[in-house]
Structure 1
Amino acid sequence: MRDESHGVHEAVAEAIDVGEQCGIHVQVAHLKLSGTGRWGEAEELLGQFTAARARGVDVHCDQYPYDWATNPLRFLLPVWLQEGGIDAMLERLADPQIRSRVRQKIAEVGFNNFGHIESWDDIRIANSPGAVRPGMTIAEIAAERDCDPLEAVFDIVVEDRGGTRILVRSMSEEDVRRIAAEPSMTVGSDGPCVAPYGVTSQGKPHPRLYGTFPRVLGRYARDEGLLTLEQAVAKMTGNAARALGMADRGLLREGQAADVVLFDAGTIRDEATFDEPHTYPAGVGTVIVNGEVVIHGGEHTGALPGRLLRRREGALG
């Protein structure tokens, strides 16, 4: 989607309009209101989808249950600065006048696609090919380097050629909870495959990679009552599979792929944190993927039966 901050309502309207005019399915991924200037507008945002469905538009959206987002550090900077690729961006950042221009723009409208952020402590390093340490905030890095925080951002982008990824607290928990409670919303982690061992265990990625589903089941459903356990399960299984056109997934019935999670509804909770993100959740005893047990007793068996899933033609509905 074009924008998740200043122009989020216009971006949603644009996506819906494309689907409506072309007669195609629209899936808005990780729906959010990013930046303090858009906080509190969840009801208005969700209303756009309700109105579209009332007109017959086939539109769905999903969410991860956190008020932090993740992106490359360079995505804090204006789009025009990044035009032409990494080398062109680095050449521009070598010019003090351009840095001053970027500084002024950020002061006016906030960060690209994140809007205004409350504090430099709300931007953390996830991983980096350079010298900055995962887990540090931009405020901490600036203090360590004895420089202005935005100057630290400029310098890190130059030093590692834009390769550093960050975590940004750009959303309000109230908006996240309201979106999570929406009946039509599905649940997705918006994350790649990772494990607490091997090459994918490096850095400090977003805890949503391990915590998304148990967080919805444990915190939002069981503890806070934003939705029922049955609703929560449906959002992350059958409803999600149906929205994405996965005809043989998402339901426990004959003929479906045997993807099964056995969890304790009374103890399931997310354990992954920003300091220790590679942590399995509590309360999950067994996981079966394509008929093979991959987690037993809370530990990985070593089996890797997962495979790429493709939408079946005509499966949407």
Structure 2
Amino acid sequence: MADRVVKVIEKAAENGMDVMWDIYPYNCSNTYINIVLPAWFLEDFDRNILSNFAKNRLRLEIFLIRKLLGFDFADIQIMNAAFTGGKELNGLNLREAAKELGLSSFETMFGIIKKSKGKALALFHRFSGDEGHQEILEALIAHPLSLYETDAVMRREGFKNPSSVGAFPKILGKYVRERGLLTLEDAINRMTLRVAERFGIKDRGVLRRGKSADIVLFNRETIQDNT
């Protein structure tokens, strides 16, 4: 749907609406694992998590969603299981965790949701492509209406979203230096001044007398994402 959505935003901008999007350079998103739960389940979570009927209905719906959207349990990677004894699952995808526990992938996912009360964090891969198919991601990064961000949920423990420390180095290394999608100056401008202006932050974003002295030094020939 990316092409259609971009056209809608472009048209709105052409008509005078102040609209942009933000993006980070990875094919995954991070959020709570209960994002996979439908609205009816979430509306009465405490009751449904204990109901066999609700569990079986959810099992069927997850099966249908997987068939229709093409995602797999291997696409869901546990960042922080968020329950006592769950640390050994951090970093594993649901298929790997299921093998470790000797359960089905659905039972593993449901168990994590139940034990963590929906507070487990997960990375959802193939969110906007994969390492072999980044056409959509590259087009969105290069588009003049995009700004750059990290959008990472940070915790002291668990598996980290690579975006938390790798987003800007990856844009500068892979998409600027290697792929030539945009100039170094344009990329830095979208990471600093334009973002500060977007959020009304007056004291940073540009090197100028009277501004905060937040400076990052890097080698443009070697900077890369090491995550």
Q: Is the 8 A contact 2:81 2:121 kept in 1?
A: yes
Task: Find the counterpart in structure 2 of residue 81 from structure 1.
Answer: 41
Give the TM-score normalised by structure 1: 0.65
Partner residue in 1 for 2:128: 171
Distance 1:42 1:97 in 2: 37
Alignment of 1:164-313 (within 5 A): 164-169=120-125, 170-172=127-129, 173-191=134-152, 200-272=155-227
Q: Does 1:64 align with 2:24?
A: yes
Residues 90 and 158 in structure 1, CA contact (< 8 A), matched pair in contact too: no
| 1:154 match | 110
Counterpart residue type for residue 213 of structure 2: A
* Structure 1 residue 162 displacement after superposition: 1.8
Query: Could you say which residue in structure 1 is the equivalent of 2:13?
Result: 53
1:127 equivalent in structure 2: 80
Contact 1:73–1:157 at 8 Å: present in 2 too? Answer: yes
Q: How does 1:20-59 map to 2 (within 5 A)?
A: 41-59=1-19
Shift of 1:144: 2.5
CA distance, structure 1, for counterparts of residue 40 and residue 139 of structure 2: 34
Deviations 1:118-164 (A, max 9, x none): 32221111012223321111001222333221121111111222221
More helix by share: 2
Partner amino acid, structure 2, of 1:164:
A
Q: Percent identity?
A: 31
SS at match of 1:125: strand
Query: Secondary structure of the residue that 1:260 maps to in structure 2?
Result: coil
- 5+ residue gaps, structure 2: none
AA in 2 matched with 1:89: F
Name stretches of at least 5 consecutive residues in structure 1 with no aligned partner.
1-40, 195-199, 273-317
Letter in 2 for 1:191: A
Task: Work out the CA distance in 2 between the residues paired with 1:128 and 1:141.
Answer: 11
The residue identity in structure 1 corresponding to 2:143 is E
Q: C-alpha distance in 1, partners of 2:143/2:62?
A: 33
Q: CA deviation at 1:58?
A: 1.1
Aligned residues: 219
